[in-house]
A = this chain, B = another copy of it.
């Protein structure tokens, strides 16, 4: 029965790539207020995909960006239900000069599709859409009830998804959630991600003089917000790479010896990893291996800085204002609200009275750990093995999927994170890519998963 589905996926490769190209051409950048129209364009594009399959779907409005919901019933009242979640919003392209081809005009080089969103997450969610399409074409319906929830605010921290899942609780009811928004272990090794970090995203705004001042005439008489902000940021980590915010590590769950051993056994080459990033050396919290820091230790990174004169050449001013954006990635059992408050308190105590300091919170999401021994996890593992021809590793991810905790608390469903893209796919950076082969293998894995999940029930 699955053979016809797999054949269909194979025969559709060219069409799948062409349709993904259409999807990738829409610059659906959720953080950009000017991209509102493109957000709807992307949502409509997805809806029309399900319309073509004659499946019921709708665009759900939120206080922010739209979300698409679709259903494909198995026609069997006892069949289990899987909810496939993804997002159609993308990160900004950044400096377009750093892209080898335009971020929103997909190009294939060496078998990979280069475009913003190709890996994160349009290409990955589209692999599941292709799997469903192939089941329906081959057999008229999928072997389990399949639902799709594809949102438009993941890259800005999903501010409205909690309310949406709560409102649509009955429609979203499911046994498992499947997500592909994480990478493989390596170029040649598939992976299922069993844990993710949470995130608290902050912006610190420091204001000094009411306008930029001549740094000669006025320098040395009032605090310079750029100097003060730098000093404050510099205090947030110590010389061992530890975050200095009081209480920050209190609830961070330590890795067990078994977990440490499992990480250490993975074929991870630090030199290859370093070379792929291009930094002069690896660095981070003292006392932990690179994989431990990546997957299971909390971090604090400045994401952006801006103040004063940033053009070419020299302009001599005391800036009126300095702004930093920064994100903390947190691990089980750190609570994002608590970390957010500890951060605010630390900034308040570090910021001098000589400037006016304000902190904005952009995202506040919980970490998540997935049980490894559920029937769904086993089905996912076998499905990936069938789709990729290789047994997946269980890994963790430093990135954040705030939605996992919501699915658990509202729908009482565990999430299965099947990674389809390369770990160095340049998500969020220039030249993001997704291999055509991974699109196809992902679709096959998804097709197998539906079959294996149906068999659990029998």
Give residues in A with beta carbon < 8 Å to B. Answer: 31-33, 91-92, 94, 98, 155-157, 183, 197, 199, 201, 203, 208-224, 226-227, 229-237, 241, 273-274, 277-285, 290, 293-294, 297-320, 322-325, 327, 329, 352-356, 362-363, 397-400, 423, 426-431
Beyond A217-B423, A222-B284, 19 additional contacts (C-beta under 8 Å) are A31-B312, A92-B315, A211-B278, A216-B397, A219-B299, A220-B297, A220-B329, A222-B274, A226-B302, A226-B324, A227-B236, A227-B237, A230-B305, A280-B353, A283-B354, A301-B318, A306-B307, A314-B363, A316-B400
Q: How many copies are assembled? A: 2
Q: Which of B157, B212, B231, B305 contacts A314 (CB 8 A)?
A: B157
CB pair B304 A353 closer than 8 Å: no
Task: Rank and list the top 5 A-B pairs by shortest CB-CB distance, nearest first.
Answer: A210-B278, A216-B399, A234-B234, A220-B299, A31-B313
- Give 19 pairs: A residue, B residue, CB < 8 Å, sorted on A: A92-B311, A155-B315, A183-B217, A201-B316, A209-B278, A213-B428, A215-B303, A216-B329, A220-B298, A220-B299, A223-B283, A224-B302, A226-B304, A227-B234, A230-B302, A302-B307, A305-B308, A315-B428, A316-B428
Closest Cβ neighbor of A222 among chain B residues: B279
Given A227-B233, A231-B234, A363-B314, CB of A301 within 8 Å of CB of B156: no
CB pair B277 A220 closer than 8 Å: no
Q: Which of B199, B214, B324 contacts A427 (CB 8 A)?
A: B214
Kindly provide the distance from the CB of A221 to the nearest chain B CB, expressed in whole angstroms: 5
Name the residue in A208, A235, A304 with the highest tally of chain B Cβ atoms < 10 Å from its Cβ: A304
Closest Cβ neighbor of A31 among chain B residues: B313
Interfacial chain B residues near A215, Cβ < 8 Å: 299, 301, 303, 327, 329, 428
CB pair A316 B302 closer than 8 Å: no
Kindly provide the distance from the CB of A227 to the nearest chain B CB, expressed in whole angstroms: 5
Interfacial chain B residues near A308, Cβ < 8 Å: 302-305, 325
CB pair B157 A329 closer than 8 Å: no
